[in-house]
Amino acid sequence: MNVLVVQDDARIASFIRRGLEAEGFAVRTASDGAEGLRLTESSDFDLIILDLVLPTVTGEEVLTRLRETGCVVPVIVLTAKDAISDRVANLDAGADDYVTKPFSLAELLARVRARLRAADQPVSTKITHGRVTVDVLAREALIEGRSVELTSREFALLETMMHHPGQVLSQPQLIDQVWGYEHDTRSNVVEVYVGYLRKKLGPDVVETVRGAGYRFRG
């Protein structure tokens, strides 16, 4: 599936692109509104992630032009503009979702999957590895069929690792995906939350790979 990211901040665009590509998406980026519109005219996309404050053509104008030309591709607005009036105006103008910065990459990816499901794309809502199943639509985790109550952050961490079973994910990678690009990657928050998951799901569910990171075992 093809995703277009229209974002003038190169660091944020790269951060989102890496997360999407890790999920198996093909990603194109545009650094201003005019380029974003040109790409939508020359290529087919399954979803667009659109900033509002852009050079040349604003995100609001990009959204309006897309809908005026009959484009029905799902659009997720990603912006620092957090006023209710901005949310209402852009959703009424045709945005399918509205996410404010700072943001969690794990949540953004979940919203991408949700939008694609709503567009009748064949995206699975359940992931199962070993004894553990997560239902990303119901936001439910199960161990050997038994429901386990997780906080939103615990669920996001578990879901992220289950998308990469057997793969060692470093602490900075996990912080980027679950806590967001602005969180201090030197924090021990991952270690703390891995401990929470082990208490709830079992001590062997997540393996610590010394000096490298964590690996989901299931």
- Which region, left, alpha or beta, applies to residue 25 given φ > 0 means left and ψ of -120 to 50 means alpha? beta
**pLDDT level of residue 169 (50, 70, 90 thresholds):** very high
**What is the average pLDDT across 1-23?**
95
Distance CA 167, CA 153 (A): 20
The full set of domain ranges for the chain reads 2-118, 126-216
Which tens digits make up the pLDDT trace of 84-106?
A: 999 999 999 999 999 999 899 99
Q: Strands of 146-148's sheet, edge to edge?
A: 126-129, 132-135, 140-143, 146-148
- Position 181 pLDDT exceeds 70: no
Maximal C-alpha separation, the chain: 54
- Give, as one character, the DSSP assignment of residue 203: T
In a 13 Å sphere around the CA of 211, the CA atoms on its Cβ side amount to: 0
Distance CA 68, CA 178 (A): 36
pLDDT at 63: 96
**What is the average pLDDT across 147-161?**
93
Between 2.40.40.20, 1.10.1200.10, 3.50.50.60, 1.10.10.10, what CATH number should domain 126-216 receive? 1.10.10.10
- Position 155 pLDDT exceeds 90: yes
- Percent over 70 (pLDDT), the chain: 95
Nearest Cα to 18, choosing from 215, 212, 176, 195? 176
Distance CA 5, CA 198 (A): 36
pLDDT at 185: 66
Sheet strands (E) in the chain: 2-6, 26-30, 47-50, 75-79, 97-100, 126-129, 132-135, 140-143, 146-148, 168-169, 206-209, 213-216
pLDDT at 28: 97
pLDDT at 187: 80
**pLDDT level of residue 182 (50, 70, 90 thresholds):** low
Is the overall model pTM greater than 0.85, yes or no? Answer: no
CATH number of 2-118: 3.40.50.2300
In a 13 Å sphere around the CA of 43, the CA atoms on its Cβ side amount to: 18
What average pLDDT does the chain have? Answer: 91
Write down the residue that tokens 């070993």 correspond to: 130
**pLDDT level of residue 120 (50, 70, 90 thresholds):** low
- Position 186 pLDDT exceeds 90: no
DSSP structure string for 40-72: HHHS--SEEEE-SS-SSS-HHHHHHHHHHTT--
- Position 124 pLDDT exceeds 60: no
